[in-house]
A and B are shown apart, each in its own frame.
Chain A
Amino acid sequence: MTTVQRGGGPRSLGASLLDQVLAETLDPAYAQAARTREARAAGEEAPPSRRRRGQLAVALVLALAGLLAAVAYDQAAAGAQGREEVRSALVAEVESESATTDGLAADLESLRADVTAARDGALAATAVGQRARERVEDAELAAGALPVSGPGLLVTLADAEPDADEDPVGGTTEADPRGQVRDGDLQLVVNALWASGAEAVSINGQRLGPTTAIRFAGDAVLVDFRPVTNPYLVSAIGDPATLRSRFLASPEVNALAVISETYGLRFEFAQEDELSLPAGSPPELRSAVPVSEVPPGPAPEPAPGG
C-alpha cells in the first residue's frame, strides 16, 4: 500500500500505521482468494458439495459467534445483577442495624427515666436526700443531661449550593470541598455561643454536653459520634439579645462570615422565642462513693490455713 506523501518529507511510522488501519478495513485475504478463484479456469464452478460444506462451516462459525456474544452478554448482566444484589443486601443490613440501634437507644432512654424516678423516690424520703437531689439536678443541668427549653439563638450553617455554571457533563459530581461545612466551622460557632453566654447548645437535635466532641469522619460531621448532616442548625438557649450582640462581636464569627461569603456557605442566625433542646447522653458512670462517705477498706484476708 502506498501512502500519498504530503509536504515532501517521509511520513512518520505512527501516521502510516493509522493510514493502514483506516484504509484496510477488509481482510485482504478475501481479495486474494477472489483473485485466485478467477485465475483458476473461469468457467469452472466449484462443485456443489464443496459449496455446501463451505456454507455449513460458515453457519457453524456464525453459531459460535452468536454463542460467544450471548455468553459474554450473560456474564456482563450477571455481574451487574450480582453487584446490585450485594448492594441492596448491604443497604438492608445497614437499615436493620440502625433500627436496632434506635430501639436500643429508646430502651436506654426509658430505663434511664426509670432509674431517675426510682432515685428521686428514694431521695425524697429524707432532708439529706432532698439536698442531694437538688445537687444532682444542678449537676445534670450543667452536664446537659436534662431537656431544656426557652428563648435563644438559632444559627444555620449550610454547604454551598452547587454552581449553576458548573459543567454537568464532564464535571465531577463531587462537591467542592471548600464549599462544605467542616467540623472546625461548627466548633467555632459552638465555642462562640458558649463564650457569648449560652446555657445549652445542640446541633441538629444532638445536645452538646461538656465532653461532647465535634469531629469530622470521611465526609460527615460527627457530634457525640453520631453523624449530623447538612444543613446544620445550632440552637443555643440564653438571653437572645445578649447572645446575639456578643456572638456578633466575637472575632471568630466575623472571620467565619467572611469565609462563608467567599465560598458561598450559608451562615445565618435568628433570635427564637422558643427553642427546646433534648437531653444529651450523660457521661459514663466512672466512679461512685457510698452514702456513708467511708471509703471501702481492704477486704479481710482469709486466715492462712493451718
Chain B
Amino acid sequence: MIPILGLAVGIVLGLVFDPTVPLWLQPYLPIAVVAALDAVFGGFRARLDGIFDAKVFVISFVSNVVVAALVVFLGDQLGVGAQLSTAVVVVLGIRIFGNAAAIRRHVFRA
C-alpha cells in the first residue's frame, strides 16, 4: 500500500511543483522514464512471483535510470545518440512487454 502511495505522491508533486529541469538533462529525461518504468514493472512482477526484494528493487531502479541516461549521453558524445536511444528503448520496451505479460498471467490467470 505504501509504495502505491509513494508513486501517487511523486506524480502529484511533479505535476504541482513543475520543477524546471536543467537544459543539459532534458534529452535524457524520457529515456530515464522508460528505464524507471522497466524497473517498476520488474518489481511488480517480482512481487507477484513472490520473490520481491526491496534492496534489489532500489538498486535496479537507480542503476537502470543512470545507465540508460549514461548510454544515451555517451552515444550523443560519439554521434550515435539517436541510434543508441532507439536501442535502449527497444530493449527496455521488450522487457516491459514481457513483464506486463507475466503480470497479466498472474492477475487474470490467462
Interface residue ranges, A against B (CB under 8 Å): 21-22, 25-27, 29-31, 33-34, 37, 53-76
Contacts and interface: CB of A to CB of B under 8 A. Distances in A.
A25 B36 contact: no
Given A58-B57, A71-B29, A22 B6 contact: no
B9 A58 contact: no
Given A58-B54, A68-B32, A21 B94 contact: yes
13 contacts: A21-B95, A22-B98, A26-B42, A26-B49, A26-B98, A27-B46, A37-B53, A55-B54, A61-B58, A61-B62, A62-B7, A66-B11, A68-B33
A59 B58 CA distance: 10
B90 to A, nearest CB: 9
Contact of A68 (B14, B57, B98, B102): B14
A72 B42 contact: no
A72 B29 contact: yes
A67 B13 contact: yes
Contacts of A53: 54
B interface majority secondary structure = helix
A62 B29 contact: no
Given A21-B94, A21-B95, A26-B42, A56 B10 contact: no
Nearest to A52: B2
Contacts of A57: 54-55, 58
A58 B56 contact: no
A33 B91 contact: no
A25 B94 contact: yes
Contact of B98 (A25, A61, A67, A69): A25
B78 interface: no
Contacts, number: 142
A146 B91 CA distance: 72
A62 B13 contact: no
Nearest to A63: B10
Nearest to A22: B94
A72 B51 CA distance: 31
B61 to A, nearest CB: 5
Given A59-B3, A72-B33, A65 B94 contact: no
Given A21-B91, A61-B58, A71-B29, A66 B99 contact: no
A266 to B, nearest CB: 43
B11 A67 contact: yes
Contacts of B50: 34
Contact of A75 (B12, B26, B59): B26
Contacts of B4: 62
B8 interface: yes
Contacts of B91: 21
B22 to A, nearest CB: 12
Contact of A63 (B7, B26, B29, B52): B7
Given A55-B2, A66-B6, A68-B33, A25 B99 contact: yes
Contacts of B54: 53-55, 57-58
B110 interface: no
Contacts of B15: 70, 73-74
Interface string B14-52: 110011010000100110110011011011011001111
Residue from A37, A54, A76 having most chain B Cβ neighbours under 10 A: A54
A66 B9 contact: yes
B96 to A, nearest CB: 8
B71 to A, nearest CB: 15
A58 B43 contact: yes
